[in-house]
Amino acid sequence: MTIHIGATPGQIAETVLMPGDPYRARWAAQTFLEDPVLVNDVRGMLGYTGLWQGQRVTIHGSGMGMPSLSIYANELLRDYGAKTLIRIGSCGAMQPHVGLRDIILAQTASSLSTPSRGIFRELNFAPCADFGLLSAAAQAASALGIRPHVGGIYSADVFYDERPDLNEIMVRHGILAVEMEAAELYNLAHRHGARALAVLTVSDHLQTGAALPASEREQSFADMVQIALQAAFASPAP
């Protein structure tokens, strides 16, 4: 048990999927895991552990934004021995060729700042995904008939920003989408010698203003969870 996670030793699996929304964690656990057991509900942040194709998996909410994710990811890695963390969540597209419901695999995550900035100090560390997970996720998507976008994303630390100039720079440099957690997730995975990846579903588009209604999101999010699970347990390439 930690300050923020009430699970007892052994209740957290080495593979953890991390949606931001605790209710999405509950939905994913009840939809994809066999015999899911609630292992955490401290402060309303839900975590479940169960089996997927015989493999133990925990699905645990991270909350919104890098500071919140940093709390849970640190404790999962440091105190519970998690080895693989995969963020599953939504994002806003920034490129015209990226559409609603598309899947994005975040190879890198740029940011203006992360909770790790005080540790890195003058170092401009480059947060990136684990290549094995990234490659396995791309193959898993292809097996489902999905062509994911693979590339850089932007992890924002402000939801309501007023920086159209920054958005223009990111679009010009090929940033695929914006979300709020992946950069710090990648920082922490590197620090603790773990694997990390963000598998994202496009729920809205910054250029067009288009957005998925809630009623149409579940199927796209289901694809994202399947890709994450298959990537987590894929056999390593020879």
Name the residues annotated as catalytic.
Answer: 204
Helices (H), the chain: 22-32, 66-78, 117-120, 131-143, 164-172, 182-192, 217-232
The DSSP secondary-structure symbol of 217 reads H
At 47, list the tokens: 């975590």
How far apart are the C-alpha atoms of 32 and 132, rounded to whole Å? Answer: 23
Could you give the dihedral angle defined by the CA atoms of residues 116, 117, 122 and 123, in that order, rounded to the nearest 10 degrees?
40
How far apart are the C-alpha atoms of 152 and 149, rounded to whole Å? Answer: 9
